[in-house]
Amino acid sequence: MSDGLSYRDAGVDLEVAERAKERLKSLVASTRDEHTLSELGAFGGLYAVPPGMAAPVLVSSADGVGTKLKVAFAARRHDTVGQCLVNHCVNDILVQGARPLFFLDYLATGEMDETVVQEIVRGVATGCRENQCALLGGETAEMPGFYTSGEYDLAGFVVGVVERDRILDGTKIRAGDALVGIASSGLHTNGYTLARKIVFEVMGLGAHDPLPGTGRTVAEELLAVHRSYLPVLREPLESDGVHGLAHVTGGGVPGNLPRVLPAGLGAMIDRAAWEIPAVFRTLQQAGRVATEEMDRVFNMGIGMIAVVEPSFAESVMAATRARGVESWLIGSVTEGAGVSYR
């Protein structure tokens, strides 16, 4: 019956999907290592646990990019969100001392755009190569009628490994430990619902307009890649001086630092220890946002906090700065609960 309906008539073009997958093969292959045992297209990805570990513990995490994607849609720029996704997930397992082994992504869209898909996955592959983990597989789903035209959703899943006796679980943290704040590269992947409201509605700016105070356009500033802290913390984590790590994501410092502190301990943060980046000052002023609200929505320039022995703080800061990433002694662990500022 030649005049019957086809999948293409319903909105799914299988030929386009197949072409898109073919174009991704080289990107996926570029992340392979000696432990990767499967090729793109297998029903499941195969990865051998690296040898030489006495008691390996697998650590996993899943996350998304949130409404940062809305900025990518507006700017028609899709090359950074894949890196953001990988780096966010890598940071989440890094706080437990783990290094990544492999990564999987999930991309869902209403209509397959081969160019956009390749741009997104190129970013994912770049993030995987930079973090030395394999892009083991994933899913690209075409779901017409489910997503608005030109939009998509993106999620990622990472699996890493750590020696059992090197797990960071907060048990070594004591009152008096130093807090080293490591610089963010911007908003990272949190607070975008408020940031978009301020920039696009209150300020009335477009994606390619200059963002006051930053020296960059809205798209350049808001699509900056979420920093991975694996390169700067790989060496410090070989020491016993690091007692804990907190990835500063949704909830800011007040919402994330307490997650790694033992019961009965809190933190005192010195606001004068670092300069708040221009993008946050612009957002606060334009949106007339209270400081306390800024603290619990945005990272305010601190993307990772290392809880360390006081004598080890300088070594951690030297390690980050050696790789071009600024860091500061921003406070200390205290008796009590919660995060206070002075």
Instruction: Give per-residue pLDDT as tens, 53-66.
Output: 999 999 999 999 99
The string of DSSP codes covering 59-93 is: EEEEEE-TTHHHHHHHHT--SSHHHHHHHHHHHHH
* Three-state DSSP state, 182: strand
Written out in words, the top-level CATH class of the domain with range 14-166 is alpha beta
Query: Is residue 108 helix, strand or coil?
Result: strand
Beta bridge partners of 100: 160
pLDDT digits (tens, 9 = 90+) for 325-341: 999 999 999 999 899 99
What is the domain class of 178-341 according to CATH?
Answer: alpha beta
Q: Which residue, among 297, 323, 298, has the nearest Cα to 229 in the 3D structure?
A: 323
- 109 SS3 class: strand
Kindly list the domain boundaries of the chain, sorted by start residue. 14-166, 178-341
> pLDDT tens for residues 119-150?
999 999 999 999 999 999 999 999 999 999 89
pTM: 0.94
Radius of gyration of the chain (CA): 21
